[in-house]
Amino acid sequence: MRNLGDSVDPAAALPRSRFAFLTLPNYSLIAVSNAVEPLRMANRVVGQTVYEWSIVSLDGRPVLASNGLDLAPTIALDKLGKVEILFVCGGIDVREAVSAPLLTALRRLADRRVALGGLCTGGYALARAGLLDNYRATIHWENLSALREEFPRVQINDQVFSIDRERYTCSGGTAPLDLMLNLIQLKLGLRISQLVSEQFVLERVRSDQDRQYIPLRAQIGASQRSMIKVAQLMEEHIEKPLSLDRIAHTTGLSRRQIERLFKRHLDCVPKRYYLEMRLRRARELLLQTAMPIMDVTTSCGFKSPPHFSRCYRNQFGHPPSAERLIQKSGVAPWPSALR
């Protein structure tokens, strides 16, 4: 374990932040663990208690996670005391987990100006309570479409996490780790966030500009076999993209049929979908390998570096030459609410 060096004076007492994690029945334990562990590691890196946290339930009894385990100690919500952010921790069957007493408790917390967050499907409870109206919010990709239909006043997006004023929401799995590392960076600086991420062997910290990977099958439904076949063909031909006519011939569909499918289910043209697929692959290569930009250009099917750079800038807001510098320096686009 490395010390802070010149990052922070270890003798200086830093202000403490206290978070609470309100566990709902069948919550995702991996999501909660990925939220708590960065806080623990930040304390260890700094050498003092900068973060405190509590596991909470409505009645104070431990709640079973979706894997059958529970966390202790667990305290009752009304015994919690003052916290900086309370995160609602959801998982599977979240609709059944949201009760009238829970909604009342969340509204009372909001009335007391407590910042609220949601891990995995925890954002559903906040939306049910009306506490995400006119906020940008994120939830696990399996629930995106349903929430957009049920809560039209919530600005649901497919990002890894969202920070909008006093609301903090994220997807499940490893997404809470990225959210917490971004919060750690805001409080303690880039160097501390980097040291914490290195302890978890994390290749890079995602920002709120990163989008969840949503399987096409989940977006359009397993019954749309023809469209899934088209998308798979595109993915198999990233380096040498196929023409739409060639894709049509190979799949046994007409060009017009393919165009109608993409418009109906994804509201885009096939050419745009194919381009975004190649750009996502290019970004992965830039961030996760040391490949020269020229090699990335050809590997992702772009005819020339200027064309690649122009498409990349249009998609991500900066040229490919800046991507690795952003990752290294940490000077990345910050959550829009904090700019």
Looking at the DSSP bridge assignments, the partners of residue 116 are 86, 167
Rounded to whole angstroms, the Cα distance separating 72 from 62 reads: 6
How many Å from the N-terminal Cα to the C-terminal Cα in the chain? 33
Rounded to whole angstroms, the Cα distance separating 46 from 203 reads: 21
Take residue 325 and report the two structure tokens written for it: 């510098």
Q: Give the pLDDT score at 3.
A: 42
Looking at the DSSP bridge assignments, the partners of residue 19 are 53, 85
pLDDT digits (tens, 9 = 90+) for 102-127: 999 999 999 999 999 999 999 999 99
Percent of the chain with pLDDT over 90: 69
Take residue 113 and report the two structure tokens written for it: 């100006």
Q: In what order do the strands lie in the sheet with 115-119?
A: 74-76, 51-57, 17-23, 85-89, 115-119, 167-170, 161-164
Domains of the chain: 17-199 (3.40.50.880), 216-268 (1.10.10.60), 278-339 (1.10.10.60)
- How high is the mean pLDDT of the chain? 89
How many angstroms separate the Cα of 282 from the Cα of each of 212, 235, 271, 275, 309?
Answer: 16, 13, 17, 10, 11
Residue-by-residue DSSP string for 51-98: EEEEEEESSSS---BTTS---SSEEEGGG----SEEEEE-BTTHHHH-
- Is residue 333 pLDDT above 90, yes or no? no
pLDDT digits (tens, 9 = 90+) for 254-271: 999 999 999 988 888 999
3-state secondary structure (DSSP) of residue 303: coil
Q: Give the pLDDT score at 231.
A: 87
Read off the pLDDT of each residue in 280-298 and give the average, rounded to a whole number. Answer: 87
pLDDT digits (tens, 9 = 90+) for 222-256: 667 888 889 889 988 999 999 999 999 999 999 99
How far is C-alpha 312 from the geometric centre of its chain's CA atoms?
Answer: 21
pLDDT digits (tens, 9 = 90+) for 123-180: 999 999 999 999 999 998 888 867 888 899 999 988 899 999 999 999 999 999 999 9
Split at pLDDT 50, 70, 90, the class of 219 is low
Q: Give the pLDDT score at 218.
A: 62
Split at pLDDT 50, 70, 90, the class of 1 is very low
Instruction: Give the pTM.
Output: 0.70
- Is residue 10 pLDDT above 70, yes or no? no
